[in-house]
A and B are shown apart, each in its own frame.
Chain A
Amino acid sequence: MMEFLSYGFFQRALFAGVFVAVACALLGVFLILRRDSMIGHGLAHVTFAGVAIGLMLQIVPLFTALILAVLTGLIIMKVKEKAGLYGDTAIAIFSSTGFAVGILLVSLSQDFSVDLFAYLFGDILAIETFEVWLSVALALAVVFVVLRYYHPFMFLTFDRESAMASGVKVKRLDMLLTILTAITVVLGMKVVGILLVAALLVIPAAAGLQLAASFKLAMAISAVVALFSVIGGLFLSFYGDLPASATIVLLAFSAFFLFYIIKGQKRG
């Protein structure tokens, strides 16, 4: 029954997936409440260009994607602030431009189109040992920073002005949150692929927000839903011979849907 656990590739996927899922789940709660849930989707598209650059220059694509995602995240933040663009407009502009650059690079050199497919649709079961350790280390770092700055992050999300008046360095924390999001998007890309990263960031958190009466509970439910989706998704994909990324996202959605119904019933 538990034979899947003896496969190296399955262990690697499970190990990396679990940590990345928790990082996504915790950050997602803040992103949704900041009305910033599309940032993950946007940055994921930009990582497409990052991956293409990496493959072209034969550098580990995870690195180039990380650099590009962090840079673009910070640029989107600045543009929003300075040019007074609405957040979703800035995201739309940069994500589609990033994706266009990716397409251009791919068309210039046809020989790595197969690799790209794995990045677009996710191929966690093919994750390499080195990528596992990098993902786990980064995901742990993200979780650590989120928990370390939990209260000021919550304060600034809830009531920015009062947070400022309590000496919370809001600009610095905005930037920190953007960097964490960019890192997490790249990690999530390894798990579910560029096109589905946003789901991993948003759906478990949205599920948590359906039922929680406190912030702590929202974070906890989100993390549990994310873990359930990744573990369950990998299991189902192994036995059903289904694509892991799709199964993970659909499981997350079913949890969200269930909570949504429960909430509706509670309200009467």
Chain B
Amino acid sequence: MESLVSVEGVSFRFGHHQVLNDIVLSIYSGDFLGILGPNGSGKTTLLKIILGLLKPSQGRVLLMQKSQHDFTEWGKIGYVPQNATHIDPYFPVSVQEVVAMGIKSLAPSERVAKAGEAQAIQEALKHVGMESHRTRRIGQLSGGQQQRVFIARAIVNRPRILFLDEPTTGVDAQTQEQFYDMLARINQDEKITIVLVTHEIGIINKHITKVACLNQSLIYHGSHGEFCSSQAFKELLEGGHHLVSHRH
């Protein structure tokens, strides 16, 4: 199967503080990968390195078989950052404009025809059930609604892979469930590979197919089924803090 992302021996330091240690990880087309790990274990950092927002101290990342430097097809990657909803509530952008950013900011060589763009924006909003809020200012929506809009922005280019960093923080349980069902639909119907950083193991259990368990180094990486019978999972259930082994 085709590997969309290969993380090859990536280490990362903030000053003297080692955050990631020799991570090796491949993400394959069609995966619904859950990245688990306690606070401060380097999950966000790993995503940022994969997306080229941070440079690894060691190792490298290949995106669709290309080095990050040579990779240009950013429209094929969607990203919803952690705390995406921590925005300036008075920022004057409409829901529609937020989604349009994702498609119209691409390099000209990556963009599709204008007519296609308008339609893609409509479809992305429909997908997350926000089409009726099109013209509202983003700051007027609830946190959960905003999160949906950011997902619409991340999928508007029909990416091959979608990264979500704790997308349901502060979202109520029922909405969360709908939300993960929506992700599963995107994964299965649209064949979009999903990488999800999360703490809610319970709720995503029914959707994820692969698990990566991170705590500075990669503690577990494999299928979801095996993960449930693994030592890492037991430790995680038994309070999780076993995994927080701070090796400074």
Contact = CB atoms under 8 A, between A and B. Distances in A.
Given A162-B153, A165-B53, A167-B72, A213 B101 contact: no
A32 to B, nearest CB: 10
A217 interface: yes
A216 interface: yes
A213 B94 contact: yes
Interface residues of A, number: 24
A165 to B, nearest CB: 4
B236 interface: no
A167 B94 contact: no
B101 A155 contact: yes
Contact of A209 (B75, B90, B100): B90
Interface in A157-178: 158-159, 161-168
B74 A161 contact: no
Contact of B81 (A158, A162, A167, A212): A162
A268 B72 CA distance: 49
B92 A161 contact: no
Given A33-B88, A151-B104, A152-B105, A162 B93 contact: no
Nearest to B154: A162
B92 to A, nearest CB: 4
A167 B106 CA distance: 7
Given A164-B52, A213-B92, A216-B97, A159 B102 contact: no
Query: Which residue of A158, A164, A165, A216 has the most chain B CB atoms within 10 A of its CB atom?
Result: A165
Nearest to A167: B74
A207 B90 CA distance: 13
A240 to B, nearest CB: 35
Interface in A49-91: none
B91 interface: yes
A148 to B, nearest CB: 11
Contacts of B98: 158
B126 interface: no
Contact of B92 (A151, A167, A168, A214): A214
B77 A33 contact: no
Nearest to B72: A167
Given A214-B92, A216-B97, A167 B107 contact: yes
A33 B150 CA distance: 19
A215 B138 CA distance: 11
B57 interface: no
A164 to B, nearest CB: 5
Contacts of B135: 213-214
A92 interface: no
A166 B106 contact: yes
Query: Which residue of A155, A208, A216 has the most chain B CB atoms within 10 A of its CB atom?
Result: A155
A214 B105 contact: no
Cβ-closest 10 pairs across A and B? A167-B74, A151-B104, A155-B101, A214-B94, A165-B79, A212-B92, A152-B105, A218-B92, A155-B105, A213-B137
28 contacts: A33-B92, A151-B101, A158-B87, A158-B91, A158-B101, A159-B101, A162-B79, A162-B84, A164-B53, A165-B51, A165-B53, A165-B74, A165-B79, A166-B74, A166-B101, A166-B105, A167-B74, A167-B106, A167-B110, A208-B92, A209-B92, A213-B92, A213-B137, A214-B93, A214-B135, A215-B92, A215-B93, A216-B97
